[in-house]
Amino acid sequence: MAVTLTAWQAFSLEALAERLGRACLAANASVTAAESCTGGGVSSAITDIAGSSAYFETGYVTYANGAKQRLLGVRETTLAEYGAVSAETVDEMVAGACRDSGATLGVAISGVAGPGGGSVDKPVGTVWFAWGDGQTQVTECHQLPGTRGEVRRDAVRVALIGLIERLEKMISPA
């Protein structure tokens, strides 16, 4: 299932974080975030909600590759072969975050927020996401338009939406 940002554009980050909290409580689940280009934005949005300690204990800001390796167990060979902005890297990030935190569900984000740093293969606005439970992950790549701030904000939005959708499926599977 692909997260469709436009369907959720009317929701503020606060409204999304509140909905995430309700879903966590209903599913008796906890969440974690392993962030790179968002620099803690997902963790911040979640912890802006009073009572979020009931379902959010740990978040990881691993902006540099060394931090991804040390804190999340991302392999040096993964970073060398695929780069920090890749499906393979976010897959290992979310697995490491779930393993370390014990969270039921996690999200990992790594991207090129700009204004520089892009390439032909990974232009500015390229953001990889992985959602998973430490065993099974789903990855998606989004090309987010706008300024650095807009890319980062929309990446937080996509991350929260993906967590919500997965938790709501846990509550009432189709």
Domain ranges for the chain:
12-171
Which of 43, 46, 76, 77 shows the shortest CA–CA distance to 60? Answer: 43
Segment 117-166, tens digit of pLDDT:
999 999 999 999 999 998 889 999 999 999 999 999 999 999 999 999 99
Q: Which residues of 35-59 are buried (b: 16+ CB within 10 A; e: fewer)?
A: bbbbbebbbbbbeebeebeebbebb
**Domain 12-171 = CATH 3.90.950.20:** yes
Segment 85-106, tens digit of pLDDT:
999 999 999 999 999 999 999 9
DSSP helix/strand/coil, 119: coil
> Contact at 8 Å (CB) between 68 and 89?
yes
